[in-house]
Amino acid sequence: MTVRHRDVEVNGVRLHIAEQGEGPLVLLLHGFPESWYSWRHQFAPLVEAGYRVVAPDQRGYASSDRPEPVDAYTLLHLVGDVTALIGELGESSAVLVGHDWGAPVAWATALLRPDLVRGVAGLSVPPAPPAMLPPLSLARDRYGDGYYQIRFQEPGVADAEFARDPASTLRRIMFSASGDNPWVEEPRPWVVPEGMTLLDLMPEPDVLPGWLTKEDVAAFAEGYQGPDAFTGPLNWYRNIDRNNELLTAFRGRVVEAPALYVVGDKDVVVSLEGVDFLRANLHLVAPRVHANVTLAGCGHWTQQERPEEVNAALLDFLAHVEEVSVG
Residue type for position 78: L
**Alpha-carbon distances of 117 from 19, 45, 110, 145, 212, rounded to whole Å:** 19, 21, 6, 37, 32
Q: Is 80 helix (H, G, I), strand (E, B) or coil?
A: helix
Q: Decide if 30 is catalytic.
A: no
Task: Using alpha carbons, select from 261, 304, 287, 15 the residue that is nearest to residue 122.
Answer: 261
Active-site residue among 57, 100, 159, 180? 100
Task: Using alpha carbons, select from 85, 21, 29 the residue that is nearest to residue 53.
Answer: 21
Task: Using alpha carbons, select from 229, 184, 228, 223 the residue that is nearest to residue 203.
Answer: 184
Task: Using alpha carbons, select from 111, 188, 106 the residue that is nearest to residue 147.
Answer: 188
H or E element that contains 289:
strand 289-295
Helices 166-176, 214-221: crossing angle, 10 deg rounding = 120
**Alpha-carbon distances of 106 from 99, 120, 129, rounded to whole Å:** 9, 7, 12
Q: Across the beta sheet with 13-20, what order do the strands follow?
A: 4-10, 13-20, 52-56, 25-29, 94-99, 117-123, 259-264, 289-295
- Residue 227 neighbours by CB distance under 10 Å: 11
Q: Decide if 300 is catalytic.
A: yes
CA–CA gap between residue 83 and residue 80 (Å, rounded): 5
Interstrand relation of 52-56 and 13-20 (parallel, antiparallel or unpaired): antiparallel
**Alpha-carbon distances of 305 from 60, 195, 302, 317, rounded to whole Å:** 25, 32, 5, 19
Cβ–Cβ under 8 Å, residues 98 and 104? yes
| Catalytic residue positions, numbered | 100, 300
